[in-house]
Amino acid sequence: MVLSGYTVDGVGYGSAMVGLLIGVWCFRLGRDRLEPIPRVLISLYLVVLVVAPYSLGWGIFHTSHAMVYNRYGYALLGLVMLESFETVGTQRREKEEGIGGLSTGVAVALALFLKISYFFVAALLIGTSVLLRDLSRRHLLRMFIGFSFVSIAFLAYVGFDIPAVLGDLKMAAAARSESFPVYHLRWKLLKNTPYLVLIACLAVLGSLDEETTQTRRRTFNPLLLAALVFTADMLLLFTNQQPTELPLSTIFSFFVANRAIVRNRMLADQEAHPSRPACRAVMIAGSIFFLVQFALGCSGLAYGVLMKANPPNLYSVERFTEPRLVPLVLYDGLSEPTSNGRQYTTYVNEGIRLLRKSTGSDETVLTMDMMNPFPFALGRRPAVGGIAAAAYRYTLSDTHRPSDESFFGTADVVMVPKRPASPGANFDGIYRIYEPGLHNRFRLAAESDMWYLYKRK
């Protein structure tokens, strides 16, 4: 934010920094685990996964910062997978054991405080790795140290208020479970079945090996890992606003191809070896699957750069008036009927005008809607209280919600939209729950075409 002059460009700068960190992290972790070319490619893939400016699963032309945390989470799980399941040699791996343990511990702790569903999937991956590998005490100790160091840092940031953290997680989980239709899960599973077919075929081909008797046999590890990775991908998909695109399956396909590359090199002097056709098939199929997904991410990044440099129809688009928000351009989408770029921009601009007219710069502002854009837009100190991304039956419900005291907190001013930016089903429940508390604590002080402005009594 400092580098961007406290404008929304800071979101892009932040993603670029995270992408650089993840890329370097992956490249270092890939030593003794990946072949040289795969090591570079998987590092670049994780970079693109982090920085591509479109919402995962919605297509490369839907440029947006929305749900960028999902990209960070998938990248962290990619690092966990790399350390847990991929290696090209056991002799050199021994000296990397300490670094690998620290890496996994740090990645899992970051996932815990990023979005807890990624932590659960990381725990699933690590648990499977512990069952499949003979991990030394040193490795497990380093993992614990890495996890503890990062966790303590985050807990210090929230004042070691662990009950509050657990309470918020419980509230969000309970609220979300009330709007989790089974048919939606079935639709996501059906839509992503092709991914399962592709990685299952890769796993079958990758399991072809040779015994000392020169006969082929099948090992079940690749198939088990394919099932595990697809299950992990689907668990995340069910908890995300993401219809498709499975990054963990993409990473798995490249791991299978990497192992085929190693095996093919070992058979270089045996041109007629019976395993050679299977090795080549896996190398080609896995590489194609991976490169297609990599190319899509690169295309989304290139399109985002192009739109940033040359925004289309700029003069016909409603623009934000506050300097901090000016770099952000919101459009009305053609394919998504709930896109509301012009409405939301107008909604924020009018709210800012009302606040400047009716409040002082030292008065804190709360918004009864999904987001509270005004403290950042106006450069004001935010009130203590409220809730990040308030949505009825998504992050709060009638039975699981912040109390009136916690919700209104120390706010001097509450902005209530006449026409909320949130879908009606998400907003109506919030207003119904907190309307009595609003009128008990605040009085109507001003209004405009789109807003009611309440001040504390």
Q: Are residues 149 and 220 in the same domain?
A: yes
Tell me which of 256, 291, 309 is where a domain ends: 309
Domain shared by 302 and 416, yes or no: no
Q: Which amino acid, one-letter code, is at 241? A: Q
Identity (one letter) of the amino acid at 388? A
Distance from C-alpha of 438 to C-alpha of 220, rounded to nearest angstrom = 60
Looking at 265, 289, 309, which one is the last position of a domain? 309
Structural domain harbouring 71: 9-309
Spell out the residues 6+ positions from residue 149 whose beta carbon is closer than 8 angstroms to its own.
105, 106, 109
The pLDDT of residue 287: 82
Task: Determine, yes or no, domain membership for 318.
Answer: no
Please check whether residue 375 is in contact with residue 401, taking contact to mean a CB–CB distance below 8 angstroms: no
Q: In the numeric block, which tokens belong to residue 224? A: 């088990």
| pLDDT tier for residue 208 given thresholds of 50, 70 and 90 | low
Residues 280 and 156 in one domain: yes
Question: What is the distance between the terminal CA atoms of the chain, rounded to a whole angstrom?
Answer: 35
Domain end call among 309, 333, 351? 309
> What whole-number distance in Å separates Cα of residue 417 and Cα of residue 426?
13
Does some domain include residue 217?
yes
Q: pTM value?
A: 0.89
Shared domain for 158 and 23, answered yes or no, is: yes
* Domain identity same for 398 and 439: yes
Residues 171 and 260 in one domain: yes
pLDDT of residue 3 exceeding 70, the answer is yes
Same domain (yes/no): 363, 290: no
pLDDT for 66: 86
Q: Please tell me the predicted confidence (pLDDT) of residue 216.
A: 41
What's the structural domain count of the chain? 2
Query: Do residues 304 and 349 share a domain?
Result: no
The better pLDDT of the pair 218, 200 is held by 200
Residue 73 is predicted with a pLDDT of: 96
Tell me the torsion sign for CA atoms 15, 18, 22, 28. Answer: positive
Same domain assignment for residues 199 and 51: yes
Q: Is 165 exposed, middle or buried (0-12, 13-18, 19+ CB in 10 A)?
A: middle
Domain match, 87 and 130 both: yes
CA distance 133 to 136: 9
208, part of any domain: yes
Burial class for 333, CB neighbours closer than 10 Å (0-12, 13-18, 19+): middle
Write down the pLDDT at residue 449: 93
Measured between alpha carbons, how far is 398 from 396 in angstroms, rounded to an integer?
A: 7
116 and 30 housed in the same domain: yes
- Decide if pLDDT at 124 tops 60: yes
How does DSSP classify residue 135? -
